[in-house]
Structure formats: structure tokens, C-alpha cells
């Protein structure tokens, strides 16, 4: 229980440094849904963490729950989404025929977990990765 309190305090400092911004609709929906989750929990939106190469990465939401620590990447996209775990880029297609490419969110969240694990000196397998797309895409 002590390690959970220490983790919450450390993450609170990270959030305070990075600022709180739940202004994006998709992240708000996830936050609001998880807020209703029963059990002991803390939610930390928009956490900025240093990476191994000296950059900064932004984690959309960290949920610290009595059942585990969850690192959540939110994609408030519409249209059709195509991609596989191993692809570097995924594709978003619209009815108009327009296509957009974006970095694989699975790989993106792996970077988040690696940064969080390094920062907290914890093993990467202590975290669970979740990618959440909006209901406006397939």
C-alpha cells in the first residue's frame, strides 16, 4: 500500500509539471468512464515523462487501480483504421477517399510504458497497455 501512495505522489508531481489538460473530447470520455470504476484508484491525465534519448513523451492517461497500473493511449479518430501491431504507421481512411497516416499507437504506448518504468524504476511488465479508439471509427 505504501508503494501505491509513493507512486501516486510521484505521478502527481509529473502531472503538475506537465499540466492538466482534459480538453480533448476522447480523453474526457475515457476519464469520465473510468471515474465511475469501483475500487481504490487514482487517475493521472496528460503526464509528461522523459525518455531514454532525452525527449519528452506524453501519456494520455495513467490509471492506478487496486487491480494494477494501466497506461492508456486515446485516439479520438473517425473513419476506418487499418494497421497491425508490427507496422510503423497506421492508416485512417475517410469516406471522401482521403487518407491520413499516424504512428502505430501500440508502439507509441510501449514508449510511454518504457519511460514510466524507467522513471519509477519498475519493471515494464508492471504496467498494462490500453489503446482506446472512439466509437466514430471502425
Average pLDDT, the chain: 86
- What pLDDT shows up at residue 27? 82
Percent of the chain with pLDDT over 90: 70
- Poorest-pLDDT segment among 7-11, 16-20, 45-49, 118-122: 16-20
Give the model's pLDDT for residue 19. Answer: 41
Residues 83 and 89: beta-carbon distance below 8 Å: yes
**Where residue 83 falls among pLDDT bands split at 50, 70, 90?**
very high
**What pLDDT sits at residue 23?**
35
CB 41 within 8 A of CB 63: yes
Mean pLDDT value of segment 46-66: 94
Neighbour count for residue 46 (Cβ, 10 Å): 19
What's the whole-model pTM score? 0.79
Beta bridge partners of 40: none
Q: 45 and 61 in contact (C-beta within 8 Å)?
A: yes
Distances (CA, A) of 93 to 81, 87, 104, 106: 6, 16, 15, 19
Amino acid at each position: 500500500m505504501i508503494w501505491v501512495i509513493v507512486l501516486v505522489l510521484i505521478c502527481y508531481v509529473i502531472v503538475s509539471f506537465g499540466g492538466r489538460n482534459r480538453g480533448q473530447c476522447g480523453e474526457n470520455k475515457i476519464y469520465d468512464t473510468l471515474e465511475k470504476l469501483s475500487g481504490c484508484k487514482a487517475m493521472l491525465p496528460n503526464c509528461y515523462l522523459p525518455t531514454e534519448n532525452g525527449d519528452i513523451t506524453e501519456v494520455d492517461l495513467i490509471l492506478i487501480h487496486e487491480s494494477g497500473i494501466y497506461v492508456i493511449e486515446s485516439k479520438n479518430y473517425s473513419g476506418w483504421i487499418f494497421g497491425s501491431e508490427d507496422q510503423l504507421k497506421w492508416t485512417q481512411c475517410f469516406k471522401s477517399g482521403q487518407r491520413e497516416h499516424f504512428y502505430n499507437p501500440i508502439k507509441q504506448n510501449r514508449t510511454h510504458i518504457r519511460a514510466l518504468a524507467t522513471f519509477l524504476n519498475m519493471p515494464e511488465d508492471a504496467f498494462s497497455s490500453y489503446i482506446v479508439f472512439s466509437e466514430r471509427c471502425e
